[in-house]
Chains A and B, each alone.
Chain A
Amino acid sequence: MCRCPPSRRAARLAALAGPPCRRAALAPLVALALAQWAMAPAQADSGVAVDTAQANALNPAGLSSARPKDPDGLGLSLNSRSPTGLLYPEPWALRPANMTDSGWDYNASAEFGWLHLNGGFGASKYREYKDLRDGLTLHNFALQAEKPADARFFELYGGGVGREDQYFSLSTGRYNAWRVKAFYSETPHVFTSTYRSLWNGVGSANLTLKPGTGLTAGPTAPATVLITEAAVRAAVAATPDTTLSLVRKKGGVRLDATLSEHWKAYAAYTNENREGARPFGMVFGGGGGAGSMEIPESIDYNTHDLYAGVQWATARTQVNLQASASFFRNHVPTQSIDNAWFVAVPGGVTGVTSFPQGQFALYPDNDAYSLKLEGAHAMPEFFRSRVTALLHATSTRQNDPLLPMVVQPGLLVNGLNGQWNTTASLSKTTAGARIDSRLADLGLALAPTDGLDLRAKLRHYETSNDTAYWACNPLTGQWGRLINNGSAAVTANPAVSAANPPGTTANSWNAAACNLGAVQAMNLVPAAGNINIRNIPYEYTQDNVGASGDWRLTMRQNLSLALERETFRRTHRERDRTWEDKLKLGYVHRDLAGGTLRASFENARRRGSTYNSDPYEEFYSSSMGPLPSLTGANVSSWIHTNDLHRKFDLADRDTRVLNLRFNHALREDVDLGLAWQWKDANYPNSQFGRKGHWRQNSLNADITWQPQPELSVYGFATRQTGSIRQAGDQAGGCALGTTYYFRSDGSIGTGAAGANLTAAQVAAGITTVATSTVTVANWETLCAGTASDNPLFNTGRVWTVRQDDSNTTAGVGLKWDLKRALLDLNYTYTLGRTRFAYTFNPAGLGTVTSGAPTPTQQFVLSLIGDGLPDQVIRTHVIDASLLVPVNKLASVRLLVRHETGKYRDPHYDGVAENRVPFATGNPAAFLDTGAQDFRATAVGVLFQLNW
Chain B
Amino acid sequence: MRSTTLNPLRWLAWLAALLTAWASAAAAAAPAAYIGEQACIGCHGQENKHFSDTLHAKAFRQNPRNDREGRVCEACHGPGSQHAASPKDKTLLIGFTKNWGTPVDKMNEQCLSCHQGGNRLHWPGSTHAGNKLACSDCHNPMEKLPAGSLLARHSINDTCATCHRQQRSEFNKRSHMPLPEGKITCVDCHNPHGSATKPLLKAENTNNLCYSCHAEKRGPFLWEHAPVRENCANCHSPHGSNHDKLLVAARPYLCQQCHSPSIGHPGNFWNNSNTAASVTKEGPFPNALFPAGANSTMSQRVVNRSCQNCHSQIHGSNHPAGARWQR
B242, A292: Cβ atoms closer than 8 Å: no
Q: Is B91 an interface residue (CB 8 A)?
A: no
Chain A 827-859 residues near chain B, CB threshold 8 A: 828, 830, 832-834, 836, 838, 840, 845, 855-856, 859
Q: Is A215 an interface residue (CB 8 A)?
A: no
B117, A917: Cβ atoms closer than 8 Å: no
Q: Is B294 an interface residue (CB 8 A)?
A: yes
B145, A92: Cβ atoms closer than 8 Å: yes
From B134, B256, B321, residue with most partner A Cβ within 10 Å? B321
Least Cβ–Cβ distance between B122 and chain A, in angstroms: 7
CA of A150 to CA of B63, assembled, Å: 8
Q: Is B15 an interface residue (CB 8 A)?
A: no
A-B contact pairs, 7 of them (CB 8 A): A40-B147, A47-B119, A301-B216, A328-B216, A598-B131, A648-B258, A919-B279
A94, B243: Cβ atoms closer than 8 Å: no
Which residue on chain B has the smallest CB distance to residue A283? B310
A4-B42, A176-B63, A860-B273 given as contacts; is B222 within 8 A of A469 (CB)?
A: yes
Q: Is A482 an interface residue (CB 8 A)?
A: yes
Which residue on chain B has the smallest CB distance to residue A530? B263
A455, B318: Cβ atoms closer than 8 Å: no
B residues near A2, Cβ cutoff 8 Å: 39, 42-43, 84
Query: 5 additional contacts, CB 8 Å, given A187-B181, A366-B219?
Result: A56-B181, A74-B50, A435-B219, A648-B257, A729-B260
B residues near A917, Cβ cutoff 8 Å: 276, 279, 296, 298, 303
Q: Is A99 an interface residue (CB 8 A)?
A: no
A177, B222: Cβ atoms closer than 8 Å: no
From A41, A150, A637, contact of B262 by CB (8 A) = A637
Which residue on chain A has the smallest CB distance to residue B56? A175
CA of A832 to CA of B240, assembled, Å: 11
A74-B143, A403-B319, A906-B275 given as contacts; is B181 within 8 A of A920 (CB)?
A: no
B265, A288: Cβ atoms closer than 8 Å: yes
Q: Is B238 an interface residue (CB 8 A)?
A: no
Q: Is B140 an interface residue (CB 8 A)?
A: yes
Which residue on chain B has the smallest CB distance to residue A289? B310
Which of the candidate stretches A110-118, A339-347, A908-916 sits at the interface with the other chain? A908-916
A31, B49: Cβ atoms closer than 8 Å: yes
Count contacts on B: residues with CB < 8 A to the other chain. Answer: 182
Which residue on chain B has the smallest CB distance to residue A92? B145
CA of A82 to CA of B102, assembled, Å: 11
Q: Is A62 an interface residue (CB 8 A)?
A: yes
A640, B261: Cβ atoms closer than 8 Å: yes
**Chain B proximity mask over A107-135: 1 for CB below 8 Å, otherwise 0:** 00000000000000000000011100000
From A661, A803, A930, contact of B253 by CB (8 A) = A803
From A21, A53, A558, contact of B156 by CB (8 A) = A53
A873, B97: Cβ atoms closer than 8 Å: no
Which residue on chain B has the smallest CB distance to residue A80? B97
Least Cβ–Cβ distance between A283 and chain B, in angstroms: 4
A55-B147, A924-B303 given as contacts; is B43 within 8 A of A82 (CB)?
A: no
Q: Is B2 an interface residue (CB 8 A)?
A: no
A47, B118: Cβ atoms closer than 8 Å: yes
Chain A 427-466 residues near chain B, CB threshold 8 A: 431, 433-435, 437, 439, 441, 443, 445, 453, 455, 459, 461, 465
Least Cβ–Cβ distance between B291 and chain A, in angstroms: 9
Which residue on chain A has the smallest CB distance to residue B226? A538
CA of A930 to CA of B69, assembled, Å: 58
B169, A43: Cβ atoms closer than 8 Å: no
Least Cβ–Cβ distance between B235 and chain A, in angstroms: 10
Q: Is B327 an interface residue (CB 8 A)?
A: yes
Least Cβ–Cβ distance between B219 and chain A, in angstroms: 6
From B55, B169, B260, B264, contact of A645 by CB (8 A) = B260
B119, A550: Cβ atoms closer than 8 Å: no
CA of A27 to CA of B45, assembled, Å: 8
Q: Is A267 an interface residue (CB 8 A)?
A: no
B residues near A128, Cβ cutoff 8 Å: 178, 181
Which residue on chain A has the smallest CB distance to residue B131? A598
A833, B154: Cβ atoms closer than 8 Å: no
B43, A21: Cβ atoms closer than 8 Å: yes
Least Cβ–Cβ distance between B325 and chain A, in angstroms: 10
B residues near A793, Cβ cutoff 8 Å: 262
Q: Is A726 an interface residue (CB 8 A)?
A: yes
A303, B48: Cβ atoms closer than 8 Å: no
Q: Is A933 an interface residue (CB 8 A)?
A: no
From A536, A637, A648, contact of B263 by CB (8 A) = A637
B104, A83: Cβ atoms closer than 8 Å: yes
A residues near B51, Cβ cutoff 8 Å: 31
B residues near A441, Cβ cutoff 8 Å: 196
B187, A44: Cβ atoms closer than 8 Å: yes
A residues near B275, Cβ cutoff 8 Å: 868, 906-907, 909-910
Which residue on chain B has the smallest CB distance to residue A61? B155
Chain A 245-289 residues near chain B, CB threshold 8 A: 258, 261, 264, 279-283, 287-289
Which residue on chain A has the smallest CB distance to residue B315? A363
A residues near B99, Cβ cutoff 8 Å: 77, 80-81
Which of the candidate stretches A201-209, A391-399, A740-748, A762-770 sits at the interface with the other chain? A391-399
B146, A368: Cβ atoms closer than 8 Å: no
From B61, B263, B310, contact of A281 by CB (8 A) = B310
B219, A264: Cβ atoms closer than 8 Å: no
Which residue on chain A has the smallest CB distance to residue B88? A5
A residues near B162, Cβ cutoff 8 Å: 86, 673
Q: Is B75 an interface residue (CB 8 A)?
A: no
Q: Is A655 an interface residue (CB 8 A)?
A: no
CA of A34 to CA of B54, assembled, Å: 11
Which of the candidate stretches A311-319, A502-510, A750-758 sits at the interface with the other chain? A311-319
Q: Is A383 an interface residue (CB 8 A)?
A: no
CA of A374 to CA of B285, assembled, Å: 69
B residues near A315, Cβ cutoff 8 Å: 113, 116
B243, A390: Cβ atoms closer than 8 Å: no
A359-B327, A833-B242 given as contacts; is B46 within 8 A of A74 (CB)?
A: yes
